[in-house]
Chains A and B, each alone.
Chain A
Amino acid sequence: MRIALLGQPNSGKSTIFNSVAGYKSVTSNFPGKTVEYTKTRVNFEGNYFELVDLPGTYSLTSFDLAELEARNYILSGEVDVVINVVDASLLSRGLELTIQLLELEIPSLLVLNMIDDAKKKGIYIDREKLEKVLGIPVVETIAVKGVGLKDVFRIAIEVGKKSQKPKPLLYRKDIEKVIDKLLSILPSELDSLGLPKRFLTVKLLEKDTYIIEKVLTKVPSFKEEIEKHQRILEKTHGKPSDLVISGERHALSMDIFERVAKVKKPKINFVERIDDFVLNKYLGYLILVFVLYAYFNFIFKIGVLIETPITSLFDQFNTFVSAHLGQTLIASILEGIVQGLSGGIGIVIPYLVPFLIGLSLLEDIGYLPRIAYLMDVFMHRIGLHGKAIIPFILGYGCNVPAIMATRILEEPRDRFITAFLATFIPCSARITIIYGLAAYFISPNAALFIFFFNILVIAIIGKILNKILPFSSPGMILEIPRYHIPSIKVVLAKTWLRMKDFIYIAWPLLIVGSIILSLLQYYKIDILLNKILTPITVWILGLPQFVGTTLIFGVLRKELSMIMLMQAAGTNDIIKVMTPEQIFVFTIFVVFYIPCVATIAVLAGEFGWKKSTVITIFSIGLASFLGFIFRLWFLFF
């Protein structure tokens, strides 16, 4: 049996999913974060089923990629039961999705999640009455506390076994008449689309571009009939037919809401009071700067505290090894292993862990959409809107989820520009390098400068891209969710989920990379590679020749660049072999040059190889140019 979780953004689907799946799906207090679906096999009280967490969707009208994906998955015919999760405190809006789900005629149940929040807001829902009205089972839950979740799965399995198909709810008579009329003349060729007839008809009247296109490729001549029926609705209601249908759904869900829920006076809206400061015209920006400043300082303070003793320990070990084993093959392999290990423990983890914990906290509290609100004005300067800030912020963690998150943007052009720019955001690996090299060997201010310089460069490229690809995006429409008190369990679990990637994939790669570099050095092959790269490393950037190989490894994973640098230099104390100016130029180059392999692959997946290659080549050029500029700067000033 296959069960899918469907719901509007922030309704708590992922929380329910994670309660049975261990921790596989990233929840976040930001609308539309889950852009891909996650699956898990579940054994619930002796019943096996597959559970699928779909991206949050406001409606089943195809609008953005995430919603389209969710809808296509449900329509694929592979889903036996749909668990429709609704934020009970937003029941009336949530029902609009439920009404569309019923039109799909797939066995379903409704979950009233966050029922405690609803009560706090003064909304009391008559569960049994709602069951009668909708004709499907309704379960109350508080997913974060695990309340009611067993009932959800028990009932879902029951519904699936019986395979009860729900009946669509009816609209007002005159609209039903038009639906009936169009439905009765649907050409039989459309049966192969595998869509329920009523759903198909409603979507045609609602001008759903995706479905209309599908229908017209099958039966081009049907266009006239579709438009004729749309016009009937438009004439009688005096507004576009899509508004007639969605307005009808809106009225229907309000009507249901009024029948099943009692609304009492809510307690004082404390959250809005917080927003008086956080979203304030002036204070809001001050708070934003303070939060980000505190965040990056927090990372650095913790990082240094851990890094210093650990790296010096490993350095001592390496001197010990070379003193006792000399220049043998075994010694150089051993040295490689130790360098790889120490790079992980001593350099990456101290900065990565606090960064990820901080990001999870900001996410779960609900601060990210508020940043989008504050930044909207500035993002318009580079032809984007507020929502585009989210991929950028995620990019500071890792560029891969950042590029995936561009799916929350509606326009393909906005998505491409945002992804293009996001690849220049220093990800945690590059932040590690900025901290580990620039801050550690030069000064914390040098690191801070690089962060600001990076933003400046991104803004300039953004401006240029905006000129090349002119288009005024429709602007931001973004839900600002309530604040949530983050649960420590969720924050740690999420940090671990994101760390896992580093520990299982990057770290072994680091160690293998270190060994390979050791071997290259032992057999003197690195000299050849370094020579090939001399035009860039020495001629343009004025760096020592030995940095060449490290840059090649950096393409695999950015953090490899620094660790390999230490390996190639033969010491963790880089300042002994490079001047502060050279360290600075090297850091600048690494921050901007080629996105890592994983990022290139995701870019290609989202935008095609051509665009991915363009971005890659551009970034090498940009990094060389910027490195060169700084080299000249140091030469003359």
Chain B
Amino acid sequence: MSGKITLADAPEGRMVKVINIRGGWGVRQRLSQLGIYPGDIIRVVRSGAFRGPVYIDVNGNGIAIGRGVASHIEVEEV
């Protein structure tokens, strides 16, 4: 598959599609509660400075995701 990167590396301002969420039950549940599932399209609003959190837009709702978690979310640019 071409262009598979993690959310931590996704460029600012782009729409990306969630491909896979690596990580444990807890992280998967927490993300799913906020409406982040494989297959969903989200927008990377800003990628924090100094390796800070990634700010994404999920259906018009802002969510901050720590870089550690973000590096477990595989996405694909659309």
Contact = CB atoms under 8 A, between A and B. Distances in A.
A187 interface: no
Contacts of B55: 275, 279, 373, 480
Contact of A475 (B33, B35, B67): B67
A92 B61 CA distance: 11
A372 B45 contact: no
B34 A63 contact: no
Interface in B58-78: 59-70
Given A63-B26, A376-B53, A266 B60 contact: yes
A342 B32 CA distance: 54
Contacts, number: 132
Interface in B1-51: 21, 23-35, 37-38, 45-46, 48-51
B59 A90 contact: yes
Interface string A462-481: 00000000001011111111
B34 A376 contact: no
A164 interface: no
A36 interface: no
A548 interface: no
B64 A373 contact: yes
B75 to A, nearest CB: 16
B8 to A, nearest CB: 10
Contact of B53 (A250, A386, A410, A481): A386
B35 A385 contact: no
Summarize B's interface: helix, strand, loop or mixed. mixed
B59 A480 contact: no
A531 interface: no
B53 A240 contact: no
Contacts of A372: 64
A209 B53 CA distance: 28
Contacts of B23: 474
A275 B59 CA distance: 17
Interface string A350-381: 00000000000000000001001110110010
A481 B63 CA distance: 8
Nearest to B67: A475
A540 interface: no
A209 B28 CA distance: 14
B32 A247 contact: yes
A272 interface: yes
A96 B36 CA distance: 12
B28 A477 contact: no
A89 interface: yes
A207 B51 CA distance: 33
B68 A279 contact: no
B61 to A, nearest CB: 6
A131 interface: no
A344 B63 CA distance: 42
Contact of A369 (B24, B27, B45, B64): B64
A58 B50 CA distance: 30
Given A372-B64, A377-B52, A474-B23, A246 B59 contact: no
Interface string A276-311: 000101100000000000000000000000000000
Contact of B29 (A63, A275, A472, A481): A63
A624 interface: no
A246 B66 contact: no
Nearest to B49: A281
A209 B29 contact: no
Nearest to B69: A475
* Residue among B30, B31, B70 with most chain A CB within 10 A: B30
A59 interface: yes
A439 to B, nearest CB: 33
B52 A385 contact: no
Given A93-B35, A121-B60, A373-B55, A59 B29 contact: yes
A89 B60 contact: yes
Contacts of A243: 21, 28, 32, 37-38
B48 A376 contact: yes
Contacts of A177: none
Interface in A98-134: 121
A234 interface: no
A315 interface: no
Contact of B30 (A63, A121, A209, A272): A63
Interface in A476-508: 476-482
Given A207-B25, A385-B66, A377 B38 contact: no
Contacts of B45: 272, 275
Contacts of A264: none
A242 interface: yes
B64 A376 contact: yes
B38 A239 contact: yes
A240 B28 contact: yes
A61 interface: yes
A247 B69 contact: no
28 contacts: A59-B32, A89-B60, A92-B35, A93-B59, A93-B61, A242-B28, A243-B37, A246-B32, A246-B37, A247-B37, A247-B38, A275-B45, A279-B48, A281-B49, A373-B52, A376-B48, A410-B30, A472-B68, A474-B27, A474-B69, A475-B66, A475-B68, A475-B69, A476-B66, A476-B69, A477-B31, A477-B69, A479-B64
Given A63-B33, A121-B60, A282-B49, 20 more contacts: A58-B30, A90-B60, A247-B32, A250-B32, A275-B62, A279-B46, A369-B64, A372-B64, A373-B55, A376-B52, A377-B48, A385-B66, A386-B53, A474-B24, A474-B66, A475-B69, A476-B65, A477-B63, A479-B61, A481-B62
Task: Enumerate the 7 nearest inter-chain pairs by beta-carbon distance, A residue then B residue, closest first.
Answer: A475-B66, A281-B49, A58-B33, A475-B68, A476-B66, A480-B62, A475-B69
